[in-house]
Amino acid sequence: MGKFLMYFFWTVAIGFIIFSGSRYELQLMEKGQMNYNLWPAVIFATVFPVLIGILLRLPKLITEIKRDKAWSVNWIKLLAVGLPTLWCHYFLSLI
């Protein structure tokens, strides 16, 4: 029951952060459209998903640190997922 509650509250917290971040991004876009400065919105839209990804990985990272597990990189998964994503992002940004 303890793990269930931990995961439940973690999911609710991340959901709240995503909801709040989305609202803040909309506010930045509205302010940017008023004063023709969209850089804060662009920077936020770039950094916010990275922070959400870090938060999603945090529980597993904490358990790995407690167990003194060595860090490793799955290069096959990184290349198989990362390169097509980077390619799609690059060509979609040209549109």
Sequence-separated contacts (24+) of 51-58 with Cβ below 8 Å: 52/14, 52/17, 52/18, 52/21, 55/14, 55/17, 56/14
Mind listing the pLDDT tens digit for each residue in 35-46? 988 899 889 998
The pLDDT, as a whole number, for residue 34 is 92
pLDDT at 23: 95
Question: Which has more confidence, 79 or 90?
Answer: 79
Q: What residue spans define the domains of the chain?
A: 2-70
Instruction: Write down the pTM of the prediction.
Output: 0.69
Is residue 41 a contact partner of residue 61, using CB atoms and an 8 Å limit?
A: no
Residue 70 — very low, low, confident or very high, per pLDDT cuts 50/70/90? confident
pLDDT band at 80 (very low <50, low <70, confident <90, very high): very high
